[in-house]
Structure 1
Amino acid sequence: MQKLKINHFAVWICIILQQVIPALWFSELLFGEKWMELSVLKEEDFANPSSIPFIASFLVSIFVCYLIAWLFKELKTENVLDGIKLSFFFWLAFVVGQIAVVDMFSLKPFALSLINSGYILVNLILTGILLSTWKRYAI
């Protein structure tokens, strides 16, 4: 039996996607206006953006993508359906509930929780698809 290894190229594609997806998700093309309305934010609030959230996003994406790749390797994820299911359960267990509870205590609408956790679901599902299909084996 071949030994599964982490495909670093696939992981870095996932990391890049995890930067692109939120940029689209929170743009005017998708949920940007509704997100700003529900967050009670205005465009002026973003006049001088800090680079810190972008750096944090990149670093967190590196950690998340490598962790998922390692988990898929250890769990011997066999196919794309397994990758999608595991990614969905990661989201369900570790993301959507936590975001919803924080938003409830912050008196934020549930629609905001769905927008904020929705892009993470898309990120995780795409990561799950790529990492479960784009495998690398030891020689």
Structure 2
Amino acid sequence: MKRQSFNHKAIWLCIVLSQIIPLLWYSIFSDGAVSFGDIMNKYLEADMNSWLFVASVVGAVAAFYFMAWMFIQIPVDSGQGGLIAGLLIGATFNLVSIMSAGALLTESISFAIADTVANVLVFGLTGLILGEWRHYEYLDLDKGVEVEEDVASFQEN
């Protein structure tokens, strides 16, 4: 019997992208004085609080493994279905909370919106990747061994 399991490669790809996409997104909306290189240097400075970066990675690990588990429980069988689910998850859990927190913390409303959209994009892309690139395990009765395979939705038809 074929059963879907965690695709660790896809999940870790999403975790890496969740750290890169906001940096690129913020560099688009910066006032011109801050470049992508400046933002990267801030993250790499030794005297910066690296626990924020660690917390971001740990949060992404927890969120994306939970999202992958949800996609197994509620069968998401295509990239399109994953994209829709990811955008809905990103919008419902991030839209109001991040935007309102950003606005209350004396950030400009444009930065609060940009911050929210970056998170929604990360969840949408994660949904697309996890929905499209799935991992299955099954027992090959002819060989008597357990087989693992990564499958994209276009390969299943």
Fold in common (TM above 0.5): yes
Q: Which one has a larger percent helix, Structure 1 or Structure 2?
A: 1
| Other-structure match for 1:133 | 132
Matched, 1:22 2:36: no
| Other-structure match for 2:10 | 10
Which structure 1 residue ranges, 5 or more long, are not aligned?
37-42
Q: Which has the higher contact order (CA 8 A, sep 6+)?
A: 1
Match of 1:77, SS state, is coil
Shift of 1:107: 4.8
Please report the TM-score for the alignment, with normalisation by the length of structure 1: 0.81
Please report the TM-score for the alignment, with normalisation by the length of structure 2: 0.72
Match of 1:62, SS state, is helix
Alignment partners' CA distance in 2, 1:106 and 1:117: 14
Shift of 1:119: 1.1
* RMSD across aligned positions (CA): 2.1
Is the contact made by 1:15 and 1:58 (CA closer than 8 Å) also made in structure 2?
Answer: yes
Alignment partners' CA distance in 2, 1:73 and 1:86: 13
| Other-structure match for 1:32 | 30
Is the contact made by 2:90 and 2:121 (CA closer than 8 Å) also made in structure 1?
Answer: no
| Other-structure match for 1:118 | 117
Q: Say if 1:112 and 1:130 are closer, same or farther in 2 by CA, change over 3 A.
A: same
Deviates further, 98-107 or 80-89: 98-107
Match of 1:9, SS state, is helix
Alignment partners' CA distance in 2, 1:19 and 1:130: 16
Alignment partners' CA distance in 2, 1:95 and 1:112: 14
Is the contact made by 1:96 and 1:113 (CA closer than 8 Å) also made in structure 2?
Answer: no
**Residues 60-71 of structure 1 mapped to structure 2, 5 A cutoff:** 60-71=59-70
Tell me how many residue pairs correspond in the alignment: 128
Alignment partners' CA distance in 1, 2:107 and 2:4: 43
Match of 1:10, SS state, is helix
| Other-structure match for 1:40 | none
Shift of 1:2: 2.8
Shift of 1:11: 0.6
Match of 1:49, SS state, is coil
Identity %: 25
Q: Say if 1:32 and 1:104 are closer, same or farther in 2 by CA, change over 3 A.
A: closer
